[in-house]
Amino acid sequence: MDDDRAFLSGDWRGSEPVQPAAARPRPAFGKARELHLRARPASHQEERARAIAIIGAGREAMAESFAAVQAGKPLETTELVEIVDAVTASLVRDPLALPSITRLRERHEQTYLHSVAVCGWMIALAQELQLSPELVRDAGLAGLLHDIGKATLPQELLERRGRLSAQDDALLREHPQRGYDILRAMPDMPDIVLDVCHNHHERPDGTGYPLGLIGGSISVYAQMAAVSDFYDKATNPPPGGEKWPSSQAIDYLKAERGAFDERVVRAFVRVVGTFLPGALVRLRSDRLAVVLDETDRDPLHPMVAVFRYIGGAPVPFQRMSTKADPIIGIERPETWGFEDWPELRRKLLALSE
């Protein structure tokens, strides 16, 4: 774990060391009541209610930011920084509440709430990597603004279902450069925000865009955004997209070694949790089960869907808590020779709905 954090010291735009962003004055928190910035830790249900308010404020702030860009007006970053601070405070009080809410989104909210979700994952990753409070804030702001270039694209393109034509895909791939051009024209925009906006689709193996950067030329912040962006899109896809269980998205991040930095992925796995929704697990009763896509206040005893004994005998699908029958290990699906594991997992995860 220490090695994962130590690599930050030599990773900023290649070989130069990370330089903390200059401290900026904290805004006057005019929306403290709605954003719960000074709230004390409370029950999980109460923090979920706070998270709903914070995410709603974030959605509105991003909608206003997109509208400002479309109207050719400057962005108002004070409110965005307030959202970052509110997300940070919620994650400190309860790391499970806010992520469970960001997945609840309507079609027209996809782009805005995706930005709020990436903000949350960037903050959590920055905290896991023990960055300074100033860098945590900049990472969160970068998450909010990483897709701001999409404000210059047609709305119908952003909401289009299915595969895009080559022409539409090329237009969509312009959003990092467009966003970077917008943000660099703003005074005092942190370098981390500019970097993440421009490079969150770059990949270590050189297959990314817009510049095709390779390996160490991609900053850790851009790589944090790449992982966060992919995970949220995979587990909370736009309309018409295939929704992946968390465990499938993590498996992909681990397998695509040339596309995502392994150290960032390891840190992200620690952030997401011990038992990922969709993971195959063995219970103390010698039954196999799948972890359900739910947030539970006790992450060591999640809800599961039981479906089979270790000896091979099937059991009726059953949704149950693991407090009385705890998880004793994580299993690999290929070990058991399931005919169609993705389809079986999909049916079991339906018990969480």
**∠ at Cα 13 (89, 215), nearest 5°?**
105
Domain final residue, candidates 221, 240, 272: 272
Looking at the structure, tell me whether residues 260 and 300 fall in a common domain.
Answer: no
Query: Per residue of the chain (353 residues), what is the pLDDT tens digit?
Result: 555 555 454 443 333 333 333 333 433 333 434 799 889 998 878 998 999 999 999 999 999 999 999 999 989 899 999 999 999 999 999 888 888 777 766 666 788 999 999 999 999 999 999 999 999 999 999 999 999 999 999 988 888 877 889 999 999 999 999 999 999 999 889 999 999 999 999 999 999 999 999 988 999 999 999 999 999 999 988 777 788 888 889 989 999 888 999 999 999 999 987 678 888 999 999 999 999 966 556 667 889 999 999 988 889 999 999 988 999 888 888 889 888 999 999 999 998 86
Looking at the structure, tell me whether residues 241 and 331 fall in a common domain.
Answer: no
Q: Name beta bridge partners: 321.
A: 303
Domain final residue, candidates 251, 272, 293: 272
Domain final residue, candidates 272, 294, 316: 272
Structural domain range at position 292:
280-352
Written as one string, the DSSP assignment of 198-211 is HHTT--TTS--SSS
Cα–Cα distance for residue pair 111/159, rounded to 1 Å: 9
Q: What is the CA radius of gyration of the chain?
A: 21
Cα–Cα distance for residue pair 26/62, rounded to 1 Å: 20
Q: Yes or no: say if 217 and 224 are a contact pair by the CB < 8 Å rule.
A: no
| pLDDT digits 0-9 by tens, 73-113 | 989 899 999 999 999 999 999 888 888 777 766 666 788 99
Q: Yes or no: say if 192 and 140 are a contact pair by the CB < 8 Å rule.
A: no
Cα–Cα distance for residue pair 176/198, rounded to 1 Å: 5
Looking at the structure, tell me whether residues 297 and 170 fall in a common domain.
Answer: no
Domain total in the chain: 2
Q: Which two tokens stand for residue 125?
A: 């990753």
Looking at the structure, tell me whether residues 25 and 151 fall in a common domain.
Answer: yes
Q: Cα dist. 22→19, 158, 190, 192, 231 in Å?
A: 9, 35, 8, 11, 30
pLDDT, position 173:
96
Q: Yes or no: say if 191 and 21 are a contact pair by the CB < 8 Å rule.
A: yes
Q: Yes or no: say if 348 and 307 are a contact pair by the CB < 8 Å rule.
A: yes
Residue type, 260: F
Looking at the structure, tell me whether residues 155 and 285 fall in a common domain.
Answer: no
Looking at the structure, tell me whether residues 152 and 118 fall in a common domain.
Answer: yes
